[in-house]
Structure 1
Amino acid sequence: MAWRTSILTREILPFALSFAALIGGVLLIDLVLHLAGLVWIGRYLGIVGVAIILGSFSYSLAKRKWIKPFNPVVRLRRHERWAWAGALLILVHAGIHFNALLAWLAVGAMLINVLSGLTGKYLLQRARARMGQTRTDLAAHGSDPAEIEAQMYWDSLTYGIIKQWRSLHVPITLAFAVLALAHIISTALFWGWH
Structure 2
Amino acid sequence: MNKSLFRLQVLPFLAQFILLIGATLVSDFILHQFDLVWVGRYLGIPGTFFILLSLFYSLRKRKVIRSGNPRVLLKMHEIFTWLGALMVLVHAGVHFNAILPWLALGAMVINVISGMIGQYLLNRSKQHLKGRKAKYKMHGLSKTETEKELFWDAVTFDLMAKWRVVHFPISYAFAVLGIGHILSIFLFWGWK
Q: TM-score when scaled to structure 1?
A: 0.97
1:15-164 equivalence runs, <5 A: 15-95=13-93, 97-164=95-162
Displacement of 1:98: 4.3
CA contact (8 A) 1:56 1:83 kept: yes
Aligned equivalent of 2:12: 14
Kindly indicate whether the alpha-carbon contact (under 8 Å) linking 2:41 and 2:94 is maintained by their aligned counterparts in 1.
no
CA distance 1:96–1:39, shift in 2 (3 Å)? closer
Give the secondary structure class of the aligned counterpart of 1:40.
helix
What is the deviation of 1:141? 1.1
The 10-residue stretch of structure 1 (34-43 or 68-77) with the greater mean CA deviation from structure 2: 68-77
CA distance in 1, matches of 2:63, 2:162: 24
Counterpart contact for 1:116–1:169, Cα < 8 Å: yes
SS in 2 for 1:124: helix
Report deviation, 1:69. 3.3
Q: Measure the CA separation in 2 of the matches of 1:52 and 1:178.
A: 17
The number of residues matched between the two structures is: 192
Partner amino acid, structure 2, of 1:128: K
Q: Which runs of 5+ in 2 are unaligned?
A: none
Deviations 1:20-71 (A, max 9, x none): 0000000000000000000001111001100110000000111111112331
CA–CA distance in structure 2, aligned partners of residues 66 and 23 of structure 1: 33
Q: Give, in whole Å, the separation in 1 of the partners of 2:152 and 2:47.
A: 39
Mapped contact 1:63–1:69 kept (Cα < 8 A): no
TM-score (norm 2): 0.98
Root mean square deviation, CA, Å: 0.9
Equivalent in 174, 177, 183 of residue 176 of structure 1: 174
Contact 2:40–2:94 (Cα < 8 Å) also in 1: no
Percent of residue pairs bearing the same amino acid type = 49
